[in-house]
Structure 1
Amino acid sequence: MGKKLVFLTTCHSTNEEAYDRIGKEAIPDGTVIITDDQTRGRGQMGNTWESAPGENLTFSLILRPSFLAVNEQFRLTMAISLAMLDVLKSFSSGFSVKWPNDIYHLDRKVSGMLIQNTLKGRQLDYSIIGIGLNLNQQNFSYPAATSLSRITGKEYNLQDIFESLLSQIEGRYLILKNDHERRQKKEYLQNMYQFGEDHLYKSGEVFSGRIIDVRPSGELVMETPRGERDFRFKEVEFL
């Protein structure tokens, strides 16, 4: 991971930059595009990602997970999410992954991810994994956002955290390649925000539900008064 690294002083979106490069050249597995200033960072389903220049990590990782079928793509999401937790839990407790791939500390978001896949038949071809990790930023316009520095009261060296994160991603990716799906899924569920707890959610109407599973293709599985239900991205809101 990161053997080929492209540093940009500023760019609109590292994911957009990665996608443009894939269309023009052969990209080695594990290529990283990183910037100090991402001006139009993107999250899931068109959301934006706020990041102060030079205070956080904003980068995209390009992988070639051709061993994964399209209907198994969420296994990659689980692996990368667990790598994020591996790093953050070394500094503090209280971190969890909020489905599908936001990293929370208690009830505040510290990291977000956007994974975009290109396909070759029924298999994945390229995966562009855009990661935003709040490290030293203190002020946010979004009240539910936080940073590692705000959580611990310390300031962090971005390069050190970046190298640690790439190392953990590589380890988790190798586990995924070796088909240890059960191990990583079990860990993902164990570290999942609100897993196995009764909470209120909204999907058209407010209802009581309990998260019980996640499908290999990414659907969230809930136990509800109407029975077991599956939800895709943006079909259910956490209240």
Structure 2
Amino acid sequence: MIGHPFYILDEIDSTNNYAMQQVNSGQVTSGTAWFTSNQTAGKGTRGKQWLAQPGDISALTIALQPAMLPLSRQFMLSVAVALGTTDFFTSHAGDETIIKWPNDIYWRDRKAGGILIENVLRGNIWQYAIIGIGLNINQAAFPPELPNAVSLRQITGKTHQAADLAKELCTFLDKRIRQLQPANYETLLAEYTSRLFRWQQPGLYRKDGEIFEGIIRDVLPDGHLCLEKNGEILQLGFGEVEFIITR
């Protein structure tokens, strides 16, 4: 089960780094989770830094042996984790919780968190997935350089016990990951797509320095985004397009 065992670390540079070290040492069982409320050098997607404040749930990492998935279907793990995280956040923040492709968690048009999955491969064998999840929980305010961020405290007006929420998140993830069977792939991908930020709605994007209006039409099984631009469908991989957020 996801979150069994569950370890709380007083302070760590990155729970993803720590989990990777534990996996490489051979001292981990699938489903192990690590949480800290004081992460000093967290990692985001494409090398970005994820800064966690004390009491933030952003430092939650799970080591998973993805035996239920072939390596060719690795995007489905991202789908399941995004859905589980969205289920969890929705249970506290309401139905305006959505997914910004490929794996950011949004509330309305503001970023509430993100997901980073790193893989441990031995040849063509997918041995482990290191699943890092960052959610803004107890921040009362954000610095000016993060104008698009939002926390659960800002949404609900309540402070939360971050470790308890991390354990609760594990139960939502466990449910979704158990659904990762071939018969469910199409249904899971359809649900993921329908819960996307800007799904079937016009929005501004930047690609190769050009800003244009586009409409998200689909997400392919390998994770590529199908974005309509002037009647043409662009198939875009991770990092190839930027969402322009205007307020």
Q: What TM-score, normalized by structure 1, do the two folds share?
A: 0.94
- Counting only pairs closer than 5 Å after superposition, residues 194-209 of structure 1 correspond to structure 2 as 194-204=198-208, 205-209=210-214
How far is the alpha carbon of 1:225 from its aligned partner?
Answer: 2.1
How far is the alpha carbon of 1:74 from its aligned partner?
Answer: 1.0
**Cα RMSD for the two superposed structures:** 1.6
Q: What is the one-letter code of the residue matched to 2:198?
A: Q
Query: Is the deviation greater in 122-131 or in 76-85?
Result: 122-131
How far is the alpha carbon of 1:40 from its aligned partner?
Answer: 0.6
2:166 pairs with 1:162: yes
Alignment match, 1:220: 225
- Counting only pairs closer than 5 Å after superposition, residues 99-138 of structure 1 correspond to structure 2 as 99-138=101-140
CA distance in 1, matches of 2:27, 2:162: 28
Helix, strand or coil: the match of 2:12? coil
Q: What TM-score, normalized by structure 2, do the two folds share?
A: 0.91
Alignment match, 1:150: 154
Aligned partner (choices 236, 240, 243) of residue 235 of structure 1: 240
CA distance in 1, matches of 2:150, 2:61: 21
Query: Is the deviation greater in 80-89 or in 223-232?
Result: 223-232
Query: Is the deviation greater in 150-159 or in 229-238?
Result: 150-159
CA distance in 1, matches of 2:123, 2:224: 21
CA distance in 1, matches of 2:52, 2:147: 14
How far is the alpha carbon of 1:235 from its aligned partner?
Answer: 0.7
Helix, strand or coil: the match of 1:125? strand
- Structure 2 residues not aligned, in runs of 5+: none
Alignment match, 1:210: 215
How far is the alpha carbon of 1:87 from its aligned partner?
Answer: 1.3
Q: What is the one-letter code of the residue matched to 1:72?
A: R
* Identity across the alignment (%): 36
Q: What is the one-letter code of the residue matched to 1:152?
A: T
Q: What is the one-letter code of the residue matched to 1:188?
A: Y
Alignment match, 1:11: 12
How far is the alpha carbon of 1:218 from its aligned partner?
Answer: 1.7
- Structure 1 residues not aligned, in runs of 5+: none
Do the aligned residues in 2 keep the contact of 1:112 with 1:132 (CA within 8 Å)? yes
Alignment match, 1:31: 32
Q: What is the one-letter code of the residue matched to 2:149?
A: A
How far is the alpha carbon of 1:119 from its aligned partner?
Answer: 2.5
Q: How many residues were matched structurally?
A: 239
